[in-house]
Structure 1
Amino acid sequence: MNDLKNNLLKRREVSTVIENKSNPGYESTLNDLAKNLKVDKNLLVIKSLKSKFGNNSFLVNAFVYDTIQDKERIEPKKKEKKSKVEEAKK
């Protein structure tokens, strides 16, 4: 596990390897990583979950923010789906 503190962006940048037979998915990886790092999963953002073909190991890159406000300020906002936007206009 590689853990680097970024004081400018008020976050920890974590890289780790997970062993699993199939792709663990973002949600289960988020829960497992939050439990192992002993942080709230709302402060955790998984940036990438990669594997090499034929390998059972997955490289996970994640950010752990100090506060929710720091996370909301730095992370890009998710776009709303088109159908929700059209319903709001009506």
Structure 2
Amino acid sequence: MLQWKDISSYSRNDKERTPTVWELRVDGLRIVIHRIIHCPEWYVSCYDLNIEDKCLYTEDLEEAKAIGIQTIINKIEELERAKSILIGQ
């Protein structure tokens, strides 16, 4: 099972601590599902794969996690195809 971690920063004065940043680490990849101030949707970032603030077009966290992971998988598959071309297979 994937272990998402709340890495939101909170102010001491925050009465309602609603998570806005979730992190998943998988074999050297750091995947972050996060909000952007004044935007209702969730976003995904994975700097290791050159993905930054990609809108997931959902306000539902669980759906955002699933779409975010699929976004990462799609990028990895693109890179695998490029690798195949580069090594001539």
Is TM more than 0.5 here? no
TM-score (norm 1): 0.28
* TM-score, normalised relative to structure 2: 0.29
